[in-house]
Amino acid sequence: MFIDSHAHLFKKDYAADLDDVISRARDAGVDRIVNPGTDLETSREAIELAERYEIIYACVGYHPHEAARCEGRALEEIEALSHHEKVVGIGEIGLDYHYDFSPRDRQREVFSLQIDIARRRNLPIVIHTREAEEDSLGIVERKLTDPNRWRITPDGGGEGAPAPRGVFHCFPGDELMARKVNAWGFYISIPGPVTFASKPEKPNLMAEVAAKIPLDQILLETDSPYLTPVPFRGKRNEPSRLPLIARRIAELKGVPVEEVGRVTSESVRRLFGTGIAR
């Protein structure tokens, strides 16, 4: 069994066939899906989906692309939504300097304010960072060292391990960055591009990182409808494709795919607390 730790199943892409998408996910052994919002509207939609489908859980938050549109009482509303019983985290939040759809100073501000919501609410965060790694890590590190307490989960991170605080989704970094955020209590999450071919002129960094980082620090995600794995590259993605990612990671690590499913599902449950039923 697998858990898709990050899929956006919104009307915009799935209005016509969401029931089929969900039943294909179940048939493929994907028995939980975490669906993050990207603004107030899609955060509300994520909750509606979580109410309608048992296997869906929601995160609420403003994506960096939408930071410029995060106005007025929007973040208060996000915090209010986070009390819903099927909301398991704040996300997706972060910085995106690749597209720069929102001014960078506003991106940083909205990211930081949402980490504060997560800390008040004792919820984990789902981080998006693209070409902004230095600033993203800087903001997270400052929050870790400021006097306000960050989330401590009831079951902690196991013997001597830090309590899990979040996940760097679609992990963009190298091994060094992965080990750094792991030590801070963050998982790295691996989507479809791990299945892409590695060429001498363009090595697959994500596959290299997935091979080197311990399995118990890795989550699986499809990031549907984006980042479709081989051999469906170019088509709309969906959670039923998650096992292709699990199989590639099993291959890279030389372990059975069942073990990849078991360990990564356990990590999702640990990260998102008791919100995700067994």
Is 4 or 92 the residue whose CB approaches Ni ion more closely?
A: 92
**Is the dihedral angle over the CA atoms 101, 168, 178, 220 positive or is it negative?**
negative
> Taking the complex as a whole, how short is the minimal distance between the CB of residue 255 and Ni ion, in angstroms?
27
What x/- string results for residues 66 through 95 when contact with Ni ion is judged by CB under 5 A? Answer: --------------------------x---
> Taking the complex as a whole, how short is the minimal distance between the CB of residue 8 and Ni ion, in angstroms?
6
Is 45 or 92 the residue whose CB approaches Ni ion more closely?
A: 92
> Taking the complex as a whole, how short is the minimal distance between the CB of residue 156 and Ni ion, in angstroms?
27
Is 49 or 250 the residue whose CB approaches Ni ion more closely?
A: 49
> Taking the complex as a whole, how short is the minimal distance between the CB of residue 275 and Ni ion, in angstroms?
19
What x/- string results for residues 92 through 111 when contact with Ni ion is judged by CB under 5 A? Answer: x-------------------
Is 92 or 96 the residue whose CB approaches Ni ion more closely?
A: 92
Bridge partners (DSSP) listed for residue 89: 59
> Taking the complex as a whole, how short is the minimal distance between the CB of residue 97 and Ni ion, in angstroms?
16
Is 82 or 189 the residue whose CB approaches Ni ion more closely?
A: 189
By CB under 5 A, name the binding residues for Ni ion.
92
